[in-house]
Amino acid sequence: MPSLPTKRRELLQELSRTLGRELSARTIIFHQAIAERLGLNATDHKCLDIARRAQAMTAGELAVLTGLTTGAITGVIDRLERAGFVSRVRDANDRRRVVIQPIAERARDIAPLLESLDTAWTALCGRYSDRELALINRFMNDSILMLRGEAQNVRSAGARSRAGRGKAIAAPRRRRD
């Protein structure tokens, strides 16, 4: 395969550094700050965000969307329920099925924390034409799909590794509060 022209290679390297690392890190740090204000950890906050967007889902559905184990999701839901952000509700059509229902009143606690971001986001987007925004939107959606696939690749490789060697790369243990 022919090598990339120097200018394109530099552009791709900068994009990888900026989007792939710096934007990712800043997004995580921002959501950690929001989580702290809500008395949550970052994982619980993002699981709450996913559940709120879906409006109602089962623990199993949340586990699939996040890639967390069902045991980990049970802990997340327990903490969110104790904090008053969700409730477990029996499905009216299938009493065996339990749905995680976000509590609307608590969503109002989150909104003020995002007002400044919304204002800054609107100003940032105002610097771009509709055509540029459409391209950025397409790129970001393509990036999301790519990252979903890469997360699955990492998980699959870990499962193959555990099956072949009997263990995976050890994740750092988190202190439980």
Query: What CATH number corresponds to the domain at position 98?
Result: 1.10.10.10
Structural domain span for residue 29? 9-127
Is 173 within a domain?
Answer: no
pLDDT in tens, 42-95: 999 999 999 999 888 999 999 999 989 999 999 999 999 999 999 999 888 888
pLDDT given for residue 177 in this prediction: 45
pLDDT in tens, 1-44: 467 788 998 988 888 888 778 998 999 999 999 999 999 999 99
Is 143 within a domain?
Answer: no
Angle made by CA atoms 144, 146, 149, in degrees to the nearest 5? 110
Domain count for the chain: 1
How far apart CA 65 and CA 51 sit, in angstroms, is 10
pTM: 0.75
Is 27 within a domain?
Answer: yes
What sign has the CA pseudo-torsion 144, 39, 86, 72?
Answer: positive
Is 170 within a domain?
Answer: no
Is 4 within a domain?
Answer: no
Is 101 within a domain?
Answer: yes
Is 17 within a domain?
Answer: yes
pLDDT given for residue 131 in this prediction: 98
